[in-house]
Amino acid sequence: MRVWHRFSTTIGPQVAHNLLVDAGAAGLFAIFQALTGPFIGIVAVQRGATAWQIGMLSAAPFAAMLLSGWYARWAEGSRRVSVVVWSTALARICILLVAWSHGLNLYILGFSAYSLLTAASNPAYTAVERAIYHRQWRGQLMSAVKVVLGLSQFAATLVAGGLLDHYGPGPVFTLAIGFGLASSLVFSRIREPAAPAPRPLPRGRRGRSAARSDPRLTRLLWAVTLAGGGNLLIQPGLPIYQVTRLHLDAVFVAWITAAWSLAFMAAYPLWGRVCDHRRPATAIAVAFACYLVPPLCYLVHGGLPLLLFAGAVQGFGDAALDVGWQNHVMRLTDEGVGGYAGLYFTYMGMRGTVAPLLGGAIIASSGLSPLFALSMVLVACGLWVARRLPDAPLTSGEGAGQHRGADVAIGV
């Protein structure tokens, strides 16, 4: 307690309160995610879903992000904590359709509704994180929250597979909803500081206009669209490979997810310090390098040990990209960060909608091996663009003493 008192005195009592609340909500969400996320595609394959339907499930969370520009404008005119709370709570209730539906159509509909409502919280959550954590410690405080998330998800995943095999998706997904709603309730305790009304992005062709007006953002969007698209291209292929080639049950699939969670949790503090003291762009480039590993492991027809390694490398890369892009975008603007995040999520929605559906079509026409090979090509192109990804200079004096320059190339 004495250590926490000294720490809370350093960062301030309100920031310390928000850190505890944020971490508590993240831990509960991680249990919800562990009980549902790894098994959505697996359960669908076991029920006879086609490659096209698996592609639809993989694309649904990203298709919902196509509305991120509208969600960002809505969040800017509302209390952003409330936007996060209500959108996530309603989304998690929609998992009831996934839990108890017998047909694949209702199953896909329920997951699509969950994805649509969850996407509404993304720009608002990014704006809340920027508002409650000072630039000097932001990366490290966000890392602490993600460590709690990763640790909780790792522990819950270890038992989730056994629960699913024993009880089936209905009871397990319903149990997950309770943890998801508890997470939303805890997050409502965030004390959002008062701030001047942010400047919204222009209306009309706002996404393309914003990208053209900020070449640093354009470069980021190109890099993430290529590498992230390649990473998402293989998503329909993973459960199909795991079930049809290796005949893995839910317990073994959970092990792969646990390897991801452990690596994600361990890596996030490292990348938080990199973003605070060096460059967020470095983390982004390393993430793309990591994304070359999973398709390679599947391309060489890896068994379970190699897939565990692929899951761990994916987690290491996901941690780098998650903290990297957020801190990069947060340095682009003092006002309207939710709008910038909304633009990022819109482009994520575009690649996330097209890539899994394209992946499903490639599987149906050519099989799994061409899918994994094409993924590696796209990721390599994104990594090439990220080599010259410029740092985003701060637009105010906040944390300026730690900034190292505006346009420094990354060597990877």
Over the chain (412 residues), the average pLDDT of each successive run of 10 is: 62 85 95 92 88 86 81 74 94 94 90 92 84 78 84 87 90 96 96 61 44 69 91 91 86 87 85 78 90 94 91 93 82 62 79 89 92 95 84 45 28 26
Contact 385, 229 (CB under 8 A): no
CA 330 to chain centre: 16
What's the total number of domains in the chain? Answer: 1
CA 331 to chain centre: 19
pTM: 0.71
- Does residue 389 sit within a domain? yes
| Interatomic CA distance for residues 155 and 157, integer angstroms | 6
- Does residue 220 sit within a domain? yes
The length of the chain, given as a count of residues: 412
**Element at 21 (helix H, strand E):** helix 13-36
Q: How large a percentage of the chain has pLDDT more than 70?
A: 83
- Does residue 378 sit within a domain? yes
In this prediction, residue 6 carries a pLDDT of 65
pLDDT in tens, 186-234: 999 998 876 554 454 444 344 345 444 667 777 888 899 999 999 999 9
- Does residue 258 sit within a domain? yes
Torsion of CA 311, 317, 319, 321, to 10 degrees: -140
- CATH code, domain with 26: 1.20.1250.20
Give me the domain span that covers residue 29: 2-191+207-402
CA distances (Å), 53 to each of 104, 120, 230, 358, in order? Answer: 9, 24, 19, 12
- Does residue 200 sit within a domain? no
- Does residue 410 sit within a domain? no
In this prediction, residue 154 carries a pLDDT of 84
What is the sign, positive or negative, of the torsion defined by CA atoms of 316, 318, 323, 325?
positive
CA distances (Å), 217 to each of 71, 344, 347, 392, in order? Answer: 19, 9, 11, 9
Which amino acid, 368? Answer: L
- Does residue 367 sit within a domain? yes
In this prediction, residue 77 carries a pLDDT of 64
Which amino acid, 173? Answer: F
- Does residue 201 sit within a domain? no
In this prediction, residue 203 carries a pLDDT of 45
